[in-house]
Amino acid sequence: MSASWKSWSRAFGFIALFGAIALGCTYSGYLGNENREGGAALTLPSRVLRVTHKSDRLAGVKTLLLVPFVSYPNKEGEILKDPLVGAVFSKGLCPVQSGYTLYRMLEDALRPMPEPKIIYTDEPEGVQATVWEYAKKRGEFGEALSSYLIDRVKETGADAVLSGVVYRYKERVGEALGAEEPASIAFSVFVLSRDGGLLFGGAVDKTQKELLGNITDVGYYVKGGLSWWPVGRLARFGIDEVASTLRSAFSAPKE
């Protein structure tokens, strides 16, 4: 093969790579346009959050109690249906503290929101044990969780409560440039009214994939430095989209 042909081949390869990156960034930006808040677009495609329920009553919420997510401790590999939002998840590794971690991320993401007023949970580390005490008394996880949350929202005088369930919070195995297993997250998020009505329901279920196996996500790979992310970073992108969606829902004009 001649030297000139090798040079042309190399040049064509670079052109194709940069073309794919540009296309991916454009595609990612297009999907994020509807979720812009203050001029900042999401860095993950909007499909990371799947909204299962959204009520017009959200716009009437003036005070919102934020409660740590609960980690679901069943066996890895089980297929579970969330009792409140109806989404189906594949269960994975899920440390108990992951619910508290997501709570802190959501607290930070919602803090700039002017309305509704956020009421933060006292002693948030104890929520997990308290919910499972409720479950022992009632025998059914979904009923126990909703009962606990409704009791809390009435105690605080809030209009609604925001929380969720973590089904998978799996850390990356390996290094950023050579992971053996990717990070993976799966959680539900919901807003319940004082009377127990579901005002908002959504699901985030994301496992990072190889770039060549998921070319539509090239935009966020490039923004992430073409590396394998730790689970905290993956979770934060999901939480940021939840926060963006909720800000839009809470600020929707009343009819």
For the cut 70, the answer to whether the pLDDT of residue 249 exceeds it is yes
CB 67 within 8 A of CB 101: no
For the cut 60, the answer to whether the pLDDT of residue 174 exceeds it is no
CB 70 within 8 A of CB 127: yes
Phi first, then psi: give them for residue 180, nearest 5 degrees: -80, -35
Beta-carbon contacts of residue 47 (< 8 Å; ≥ 6 apart): 31
Q: How many Cβ atoms from other residues are within 10 Å of residue 147's Cβ?
A: 17
For the cut 70, the answer to whether the pLDDT of residue 139 exceeds it is yes
Q: Which whole number is the average pLDDT over 2-13? A: 45
Q: Which whole number is the average pLDDT over 94-117? A: 91
Q: Is the peptide bond preceding residue 116 cis, with omega within 30 degrees of 0?
A: yes
Mean pLDDT, the chain, rounded, equals 75
Give residue 48's pLDDT.
85
Tokens of 120: 């933060």
Give residue 179's pLDDT.
47
Where residue 82 falls (left for φ over 0; alpha for ψ -120 to 50; beta otherwise) is beta
Give residue 224's pLDDT.
46
Give residue 229's pLDDT.
79
For the cut 50, the answer to whether the pLDDT of residue 84 exceeds it is yes
Strand duo 184-193 + 160-170: pairing: antiparallel
Q: Which whole number is the average pLDDT over 167-181? A: 67
Q: Which whole number is the average pLDDT over 193-219? A: 74
Give residue 28's pLDDT.
34
H helix intervals, the chain: 3-32, 98-110, 127-138, 141-156, 218-223, 231-250
Tell me the chain's radius of gyration from C-alpha atoms.
Answer: 21
State the Cα–Cα distance between residues 6 and 194, nearest whole angstrom.
69
Q: Which whole number is the average pLDDT over 197-207? A: 94
In which band, very low, low, confident or very high, does the pLDDT at 95 lie, cut at 50, 70 and 90? confident
pTM to 2 decimal places: 0.74
Q: What is the tens place of the pLDDT at every residue in 46-59?
A: 468 999 999 999 98
Q: Which whole number is the average pLDDT over 149-168? A: 95
For the cut 90, the answer to whether the pLDDT of residue 61 exceeds it is yes
Indicate the DSSP class of residue 38: T
